[in-house]
């Protein structure tokens, strides 16, 4: 499930993708993305550490995308904020953890099913760019609405 934090991160990055030529201060991003400003500051820090956002201080400062929106996959953004894209830890590629009640993860039908779900989710999210979301921001707002 997509967390509220990831929804807010996607909304904020759509704002930056729509105006890539000028740095945006956090208060403007918060207003346009409908995200609480204090929460947004934490999210922007994570996105900066993840290499998605650059920040500059000062009068002409603000936040910008670290690279073109076309080269930023939605799946990578979600992983940065929420971690692995897997419905169960045992189905994760990067953060595998067997279920406590599973006798044999290698032969678990539920794990196999959830691995297929993970592959389908990753396939969609990794083939959608931030630029595509920015083009369809109205649809994004409807999908990510609380």
Residue 26 lies in a domain: yes
43-79: pLDDT as tens digits: 999 999 999 999 988 878 899 999 999 999 999 999 9
pLDDT in tens, 68-111: 999 999 999 999 999 988 888 888 888 888 888 888 888 888 88
Q: Is 109 helix (H, G, I), strand (E, B) or coil?
A: helix
Q: Domain of 51: which CATH number?
A: 1.10.10.10
Task: Tell me the helices (H) and strands (E) count for the chain, helix number first.
Answer: 7, 2
Domain holding 120, by residue range, is 86-128
User: Is residue 80 in a domain?
Assistant: no
Q: Are 73 and 66 in contact (CB under 8 A)?
A: no
Phi-psi region of 62 (alpha: psi -120 to 50; beta: other; left: phi over 0): left
Q: Is residue 81 part of a domain?
A: no
11 within domain boundaries:
yes
3-state secondary structure 99-119: CCCCCCHHHCHHHHHHHHHHH
pTM for the complete prediction?
Answer: 0.82
pLDDT tens figures, 107-131: 888 888 988 988 999 999 999 999 9
In a domain, 77, yes or no: no
């Amino acid at each position: 499930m997509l967390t509220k934090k990831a929804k807010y991160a996607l909304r904020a990055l759509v704002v930056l993708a729509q105006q890539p030529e000028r740095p945006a201060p956090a208060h403007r991003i918060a207003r346009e993305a409908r995200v609480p400003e204090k929460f947004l500051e934490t999210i922007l820090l994570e996105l900066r550490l993840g290499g998605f956002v650059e920040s500059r201080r000062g009068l002409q400062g603000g936040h910008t995308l670290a690279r073109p929106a076309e080269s930023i996959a939605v799946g990578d953004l979600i992983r940065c904020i929420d971690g692995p894209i897997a419905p169960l830890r045992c189905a994760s590629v990067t953060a595998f953890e067997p279920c406590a009640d599973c006798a044999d993860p290698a032969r678990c039908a539920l794990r196999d099913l959830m691995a297929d779900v993970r592959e389908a989710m990753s396939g969609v999210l990794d083939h959608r760019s931030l630029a595509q979301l920015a083009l369809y921001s109205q649809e994004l707002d409807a999908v990510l609405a609380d």
